[in-house]
């Protein structure tokens, strides 16, 4: 217990912990939609563009966050424009646009060596560097993004699952996509100084894929992912303190560890379920493993029966 309380005596750690908690849960929520909408690479790219923007903003003597936001927006618009006629796919457009913007930032830094230090935080994340201003920005972004996501739950879920049908059912999918992209950009910029642009993609993805291994229900996945994200942020912070290592890297590693654990648990559960079913049916004919996540469409009456054996789950 002692070793958990000890670092809390330092203000920099309290700031860092609070920031990691907020960023972790924020990435947990938004990451669910990122992986389900197939936008992992968008997140990766936008963070790199934002880094370039932050450097440019800093050099031109206006705000770091404003520069990052402007460049992120510009990147999104450019990618949209390049892919419009269908000749170039979005992953290629993301690759060229955002890496070029990142390169612009790198050039400026390498030319003006005096402020190299402060951008290392933006690249790899740095817990020592969380200022009051950072906390304020992260807090505002987390609160507003979470509120928006909460009230947009229905249109967001429907358009993520089945965009075409969502439109028939009267959901303005274009606006939903636009708002989501804006929230994603905001979240990335807010997370930049905590985990670093090179680590943001994994911070977004890890809690969501872990939650996916734990449940088949969307609403539960969203809740689990938020909790996983928060745990990852906090645990990663302590790890960073104990190991004296970069916070972004420890957060990402801890997230990956949780994912491995969920894979292992699923593997063991499937083995165990198979054994139980063999036992129950008493012969070797029914040897199909149950609870497989991804199957081909077919009739599985056996599966239906065993599921019905379990007490009906009451949702929420």
Residues at the interface with another protein (CB under 8 A)? 36, 85-86, 150-151, 153-155, 157-158, 161-162, 164-171, 212, 215-219, 221, 293-295, 297-301, 303-304, 307-308, 312-313, 315-316
CA distance 144 to 152: 12
Burial of 4 (0-12, 13-18, 19+ CB in 10 A): exposed
* Spatial CA neighbour of 51 closest among 16, 34, 75, 28: 75
Which residue's CB is nearer to another protein, number 82 or number 108?
82
Which residue's CB is nearer to another protein, number 165 or number 175?
165
Which residue's CB is nearer to another protein, number 113 or number 294?
294
Q: How far is the CB of 228 from another protein (least distance, A)?
A: 14
Q: How far is the CB of 43 from another protein (least distance, A)?
A: 19
Beta strands (DSSP E) in 16-87 are: none
Which residue's CB is nearer to another protein, number 132 or number 297?
297
Q: How far is the CB of 272 from another protein (least distance, A)?
A: 18
Q: Which DSSP category does 37 fall into?
A: T
Q: How far is the CB of 106 from another protein (least distance, A)?
A: 38
b (16+ CB within 10 A) / e for 248-284? bbbbbbbbbbbbeebeeeeeeeeeeebeebeeeeeee
* Spatial CA neighbour of 302 closest among 314, 313, 292: 292
Q: How far is the CB of 173 from another protein (least distance, A)?
A: 9
């Amino acid at each position: 217990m002692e070793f958990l309380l000890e670092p809390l005596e330092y203000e920099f750690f309290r700031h860092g912990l609070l920031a990691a908690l907020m960023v972790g849960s924020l990435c947990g929520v938004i990451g669910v939609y990122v992986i389900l909408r197939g936008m992992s690479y968008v997140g990766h790219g936008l963070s790199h563009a934002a880094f370039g923007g932050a450097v440019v903003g800093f050099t031109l003597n206006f705000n770091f966050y404003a520069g990052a936001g402007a460049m992120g927006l510009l990147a999104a618009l450019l990618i949209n424009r390049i892919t419009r006629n269908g000749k170039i796919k979005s992953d290629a457009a993301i690759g060229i646009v955002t890496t070029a913007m990142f390169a612009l930032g790198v050039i400026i830094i390498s030319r003006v060596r005096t402020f190299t230090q402060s951008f290392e935080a933006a690249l790899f994340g740095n817990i020592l560097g969380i200022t009051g201003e950072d906390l304020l920005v992260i807090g505002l972004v987390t609160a507003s993004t979470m509120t928006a996501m909460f009230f947009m739950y229905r249109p967001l879920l429907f358009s993520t699952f089945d965009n075409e049908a969502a439109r028939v059912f009267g959901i303005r999918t274009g606006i939903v996509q636009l708002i989501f992209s804006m929230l994603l950009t905001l979240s990335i910029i807010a997370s930049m100084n905590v985990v670093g642009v090179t680590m943001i993609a994994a911070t977004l993805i890890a809690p969501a894929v872990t939650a996916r291994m734990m449940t088949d229900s969307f609403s539960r996945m969203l809740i689990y992912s938020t909790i996983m994200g928060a745990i990852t942020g906090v645990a990663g912070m302590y790890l960073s303190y104990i190991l004296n290592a970069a916070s972004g890297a420890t957060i990402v590693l801890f997230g990956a560890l949780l994912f491995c654990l969920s894979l292992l648990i699923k593997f063991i559960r499937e083995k165990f379920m198979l054994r139980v079913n063999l036992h129950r049916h008493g012969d070797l004919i029914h040897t199909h493993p149950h609870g497989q996540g991804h199957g081909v469409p077919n009739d599985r009456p056996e599966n239906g029966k065993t599921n019905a054996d379990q007490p009906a789950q009451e949702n929420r």
